[in-house]
Structure 1
Amino acid sequence: MTTPAAHEAPPVHLGDPRFQTDPAELYREMRRDHGAVAPVVLDGDVPAWLVLGYRELHQVTGDPVLFSRDSDLWNQWDRIPADWPLLPMIGRKQQSILYTVGERHRERAGVITDALESVDPFELKGHAERFADELIDGLCGKGACDIVGEYAMLLPLRVLARIYGFSDEQGPGLVTAMNDMINGREGALEGQRHLGESMYGLLAAKRAAPGPDVASRMLAAGTGFTLDEIAQDLMVMLAAGHQPTADWIGNSMRLMLTDDRFAASLAGGRHSVGEAMNEVLWEDTPTQNVAGRWASRDTHLGGRRIGRGDLVLLGLAAANSDPQVRTDSGALTGGNNAFFSFGHGEHRCPFPAQEIAEVIARTGIEVLLDRLPDVDLAVPADALARRPSPWLRGLTELPVSYTPTPALGADR
């Protein structure tokens, strides 16, 4: 991999704590020192490029041939140990749609998109409201809770599991398994096993007795795809839909609780919820950086020489804040959806998946504000901490207080 010039600032390590504490300033510094494409190092001092520029990121994501999703192209594999911590994210011979390319990827993406498009939006919102009310029922009498740990991290997967075809009884176990995996808890391996066994069990059940759900539709449309491919895609969709949506809820609530512009929403109005959610996608996007793309040949990008097989990371948050494409006020919010929060190009998050995530997040926030109208931050805003990750940006917790109210229970 091409190294920076001797007079250039050194590469930034992706373990730099500023990815959590002050990413906006870090990206400004990287852009000043390195330009639109910056050298970075991963765990084990493995080199890569981080794309900071909006136009450059558009170029990378719009050219899947030159900047491929095929991880076998990587020119650093001989340096990667078997216990490298990023192997679950950047692995070889992975069966999921994330690492397929060409026509095979387009076919699999079509199956996923069609299955998600068939989800009835009214049923989806109904499921989201029901599970949100159920969670609030367990919190409303306490007078205080952690919105992240006790609400946001529990809601998205419950809804997704329901539309995928799991029973409501299976939902809590799937949530625990997924959160254990995400947080690297002691039960992470058991959580991975539970999720895998549950997914294969679901597919076996739906193959025998199809229903009006995502899993059944993928099985019906997936002629030519193996059961492993369908299972892997469903598990990727669950993970990709759960954590970012939970962070979207948490980051949006943080904004509404700390910014006076959204005070009206906390008084029972809903008109600012969508504005807060959209602003988060620009300024505090849940998916901050994405791995990765690999250059299929030597090329140039943002004034850099990118070698064949170099790893290129997508700096979604940095591109969103690129001063070259921002307005004078610095805020491209409101109805402007040109953010990179869902990616771009043929490997972007499918449009139906984006819509499902938005319904879950918005419904979750609206139900919370309806049920706990005087909710308020229980700690100083500057005491809120982020998870230590350069990839996903979310709060470790969001403590709030409110007037205790009775549960709706069976009356809802």
Structure 2
Amino acid sequence: MTPDAVPLSGPRFQTDPASLYREMRSKHGAVTPVVLDGDIPAWLVLGYRELHQVTGDPVLFSRDSELWNQWENIPDDWPLLPMIGRKQPSILYTVGDRHRQRAAMLGNALEMVEPSDLHRHAEKFADQLLDAVCVEGRADLIADYAMLLPVRVLAHLYGFADDKGLGLVTALNDMIDGGERAIAGQSHVATSMTQLLAERRARPADDVVTRMLADTSGFSDEEITQDLMVMLAAGHQPTADWIGNSLHLMLTDERFAASLFGGRDNIGVAMNEVLWEDSPTQNVAGRWASRDTQLGGRRIQSGDLMLLGLQGANSDPQVRTDASVLTGGNNAHLSFGHGEHRCPFPAQEIAEVIARTGIEAVLDRLPDIDLTVPAESLTRRPSPWLRGLSALPVRFTPTRPLGNSSR
């Protein structure tokens, strides 16, 4: 382990990650030695170009976690196992032609989601959630709304009954946060997916799971179950944080004041700025070096774990020479990853529809919305992987619920 390695934990990942990444880059360069839970060493790739290099060379920097040179030091109950995994037959850890086949299966299943249906369901669930709080004049837009909306929409697209969403939210959050309930959360999601798969084999329907089961590439039920878990985890929490972080920006930055009172042109601007400056997915595990190599002036040994510092790369001063050029309509950020293992384009589009519809619903239905606490008192959840608010308490003029009526 490198003597001056940086622990990938601690309050600064919640309070001030931007300055933390700047310090890492200043002291260590584009590739920073870090320490994971249990004193497990890894490298955090903070350079934009270096991250492109890692994600663009799947042979040298493989997604095959079996290459890791630290497995003998990893206990069975290691809380980060759900984020890194071993012998998980999911698309995350598949390489080569088999990965491309699985990516095609996922992309095809998601691409057949009708955009108008997606928007309608997202709006329906958003209205149901807002109906529960609109008469109160107060709400926590994280716990009462953003944390519930994406998984309800995604669960519906999969084929889950609507009442399964809340349990999936809790389990997914436990799994992603990497705490003591991470393994239990992963188990709940896996059991739910296995049951849904069995139901759809017996009773096919017009949903994502049925379309994946109909694929002729010869994937096992375990492989499909794992891929469904990946899609749900990757689709829910980052989208929830995209909603929360965008609403936070619009409520605290005067540039977006007009959008809070009827204007909608700046919603897309705020959402894209969040992907550059406050990305929901901060760091991702990972890639493994298939042989000894050099990266960013560092000597990387065969089997070393490379963590993708997406937010650090987005703020790399070597490419961020003019912030006004890289925000706005520029989509060269790395918040969806890069290379053949990046988030599939249909999945990105689904996430954007859910997030934008959710934000629009809040601004349409909660008039005079404003924070109930000082902006500087807002806190983030304790995770070095994802960046989302613990709470976003707001007040507004109480309104009547829509019920079953349409807008």
Query: Does TM, scored on the shorter chain, surpass 0.5?
Result: yes
Q: Which residue of 1 aligns with 2:159?
A: 165
Tell me the distance in 1 between the aligned counterparts of 2:316 and 2:159.
41
Tell me the distance in 2 between the aligned counterparts of 1:230 and 1:23.
35
Q: Which residue of 2 aligns with 1:381?
A: 375
Q: Go from structure 1 to structure 2 and tell me whether the alpha carbon gap of 1:37 and 1:361 turns closer, same or farther (over 3 Å shift).
A: same
Tell me the distance in 2 between the aligned counterparts of 1:180 and 1:389.
11
Q: CA deviation at 1:91?
A: 2.2
Q: CA deviation at 1:157?
A: 0.5
Q: CA deviation at 1:411?
A: 2.1
TM-score (norm 1): 0.94
Residues 1:353 and 2:347 aligned together: yes
Residues 1:212 and 2:206 aligned together: yes
Tell me the distance in 1 between the aligned counterparts of 2:238 and 2:116.
22
Tell me the distance in 1 between the aligned counterparts of 2:328 and 2:159.
35
Runs of at least 5 residues in structure 2 that lack an aligned partner in the other structure: none
Q: Go from structure 1 to structure 2 and tell me whether the alpha carbon gap of 1:129 and 1:69 turns closer, same or farther (over 3 Å shift).
A: same
Which 4+ runs in 1 deviate beyond 6 A? 184-190
Retained in 2: the 8 A contact 1:268–1:369?
A: yes
TM-score (norm 2): 0.95
Tell me the distance in 2 between the aligned counterparts of 1:39 and 1:184.
20
Retained in 2: the 8 A contact 1:111–1:222?
A: no
2:404 aligned counterpart, secondary structure: helix
**Aligned residue type for 2:280:** P
RMSD over aligned Cα atoms: 1.8
Retained in 2: the 8 A contact 1:20–1:389?
A: yes
2:24 aligned counterpart, secondary structure: helix
Residues 1:35 and 2:24 aligned together: no
Superposed, 1:168-179 pairs within 5 Å as 168-179=162-173
Retained in 2: the 8 A contact 1:181–1:192?
A: yes
Tell me the distance in 1 between the aligned counterparts of 2:135 and 2:320.
44
**Aligned residue type for 1:307:** Q
Tell me the distance in 2 between the aligned counterparts of 1:408 and 1:191.
34
Q: Which residue of 1 aligns with 2:86?
A: 92
1:221 aligned counterpart, secondary structure: coil
Retained in 2: the 8 A contact 1:62–1:344?
A: yes
**Aligned residue type for 1:373:** P
Retained in 2: the 8 A contact 1:57–1:319?
A: yes
2:269 aligned counterpart, secondary structure: helix
Q: Go from structure 1 to structure 2 and tell me whether the alpha carbon gap of 1:163 and 1:385 turns closer, same or farther (over 3 Å shift).
A: same
Q: CA deviation at 1:102?
A: 1.2
2:83 aligned counterpart, secondary structure: coil
Q: Which residue of 1 aligns with 2:117?
A: 123
1:393 aligned counterpart, secondary structure: coil
Superposed, 1:175-190 pairs within 5 Å as 175-179=169-173, 181-182=175-176
Q: Which residue of 2 aligns with 1:46?
A: 40
Q: Which residue of 2 aligns with 1:7?
A: none
Q: Which residue of 1 aligns with 2:132?
A: 138
Residues 1:260 and 2:283 aligned together: no
Tell me the distance in 2 between the aligned counterparts of 1:180 and 1:87.
12
Cα deviation, 1:198-224, whole Å, max 9, x if unaligned, reads: 322222222223222111110001541
1:216 aligned counterpart, secondary structure: helix
Q: Go from structure 1 to structure 2 and tell me whether the alpha carbon gap of 1:222 and 1:138 turns closer, same or farther (over 3 Å shift).
A: farther
Q: Which residue of 1 aligns with 2:301?
A: 307
Tell me the distance in 1 between the aligned counterparts of 2:404 and 2:207.
26
Tell me the distance in 1 between the aligned counterparts of 2:46 and 2:183.
34
Q: CA deviation at 1:173?
A: 4.0
Tell me the distance in 2 between the aligned counterparts of 1:173 and 1:79.
33
**Aligned residue type for 2:258:** A
2:82 aligned counterpart, secondary structure: coil
Cα deviation, 1:184-238, whole Å, max 9, x if unaligned, reads: 7998766545433332222222222322211111000154110111111111111
Q: Go from structure 1 to structure 2 and tell me whether the alpha carbon gap of 1:180 and 1:36 turns closer, same or farther (over 3 Å shift).
A: closer
Q: Which residue of 2 aligns with 1:108?
A: 102
Q: Which residue of 1 aligns with 2:401?
A: 407
Tell me the distance in 1 between the aligned counterparts of 2:401 and 2:310.
40
Cα deviation, 1:34-65, whole Å, max 9, x if unaligned, reads: 11111111112211111110000000000011
Retained in 2: the 8 A contact 1:268–1:373?
A: no
Tell me the distance in 1 between the aligned counterparts of 2:267 and 2:13.
26
**Aligned residue type for 1:29:** E
Retained in 2: the 8 A contact 1:153–1:179?
A: no
Q: Which residue of 2 aligns with 1:237?
A: 231
Q: CA deviation at 1:308?
A: 0.6
Tell me the distance in 2 between the aligned counterparts of 1:186 and 1:390.
15
Q: CA deviation at 1:331?
A: 5.9
Q: Percent identity?
A: 73
1:94 aligned counterpart, secondary structure: coil
Retained in 2: the 8 A contact 1:289–1:314?
A: yes
Q: Which residue of 2 aligns with 1:284?
A: 278
Q: Which residue of 2 aligns with 1:12?
A: 6
Q: Go from structure 1 to structure 2 and tell me whether the alpha carbon gap of 1:319 and 1:225 turns closer, same or farther (over 3 Å shift).
A: same
